[in-house]
Structure 1
Amino acid sequence: MSLLACAALLSTVGLTGTASAHGSTINPASRNYGCWSRWGNDFQNPNMQQQDPMCWQAWQTDVNAMWNWNGLFREGVAGNHQGAIPNGQLCSGGRTENGRYRAMDTPGAWKTTALSRTFNINLMDQAHHGADYIKVYITRQGYNATTTPLSWSNLELITTTGRYAQAGNYYINNINAGSRTGRHVVYTIWQASHTDQSYYFCSDVTF
């Protein structure tokens, strides 16, 4: 079996296997979900290095972070997100899973999703974990995601939702970005209900 065929098989297992299926923000796409959705069927294409260099470095750093785009979580945080996740490591969940997602922390010209200043988030919960809450942060005006690793001081908490019943998708609607313009990072924390499992998503956007 070719490497590409093996990768496709791994991707299918990751999408359908109960043990490995968790979730991510899919709109605006998290960094790892976006890289998987754009290149999962063509991850060996050398054109990625020029067309999508941040995804290229992510695939080169750890291919399993792409196939497991839905597994970026930590356990046992007990709501102390800022205590558990150091500055500069927010997009990797504090280098969770032995650093598997560390490339997500690398500043650079990640592909962005164009958003209006009032926007919605679609979070996919493949395993139907439910949510105790979802927190949405946006970077402050002036933060430069292309040069500066993300820190808590760069973020403003915009909204904290209530509970969500177990379902395949959760929508957080009418999020107000205020007067922000240009490139930003939307940082989403999903606190799953089935256990103390916290998910961390960096989504690059342009307002």
Structure 2
Amino acid sequence: MAKARKYHHGEVRETAVGAALDLIEADGPDALTMRALAKAVGVDHRALYRHYPDRDAVLAEVAAEGYRQLLSIQLAGCVDASNPLQTAFEVYVHFALDRPHLHALMLTRSRQEMDAHAALGEAVKAELDQLMVWSRLALGAGPGERETDARDLAFAALAAAYGLCSLASSASLAPRSPEDLRQFVADQVRGVLEGQLLRLTPNSHR
């Protein structure tokens, strides 16, 4: 039997998140068990329970890490973007199609899980708050202005992106090369954004 690795305080939790992320991205959430994770980390499975009470807590932590990574990439991509909201959703599409198992995990966490796991709730809130910032910018609105319109704009595009990326990942869309598929989905989401902007700003020449 392989000898368990020795970790300093806090290292098991950090290493476990990375190992769980690798397992899920390779084979989906069903591949993650506490024993499989312990083997990947190199510790006795009982050691994991000192950091995570159950498998659901690990899944919540991985989902939170997914949201943090997504937001980080979006922020970097939007630094000099002329249309940050559109750019953010283009990044989203690439992220979701390149990492389908992680994307599915992120978008299927329940409200109860977000409430029960603070890190997940905070990561989801950070992503949605930033989408609202970009949505208000697209509408020409300042902080606190046109909140309902900004929310409708962000969620319409998010619903389109999630639905299309999920269909694409499950092979329910017509066969395309990966690049053609990314372009197709990005174009459809852009169309939703443009349509919503026309609806919300009827006097605009967008």
Confirm or deny a common fold (TM above 0.5).
no
More strand by percentage: 1
- Scaled to the shorter chain, the TM-score interval is under 0.3
- Structure-2-length-normalised TM-score: 0.26
Q: Which has the higher contact order (CA 8 A, sep 6+)?
A: 1
More helix by percentage: 2
Asked which structure has the greater CA Rg, the reply is: 2
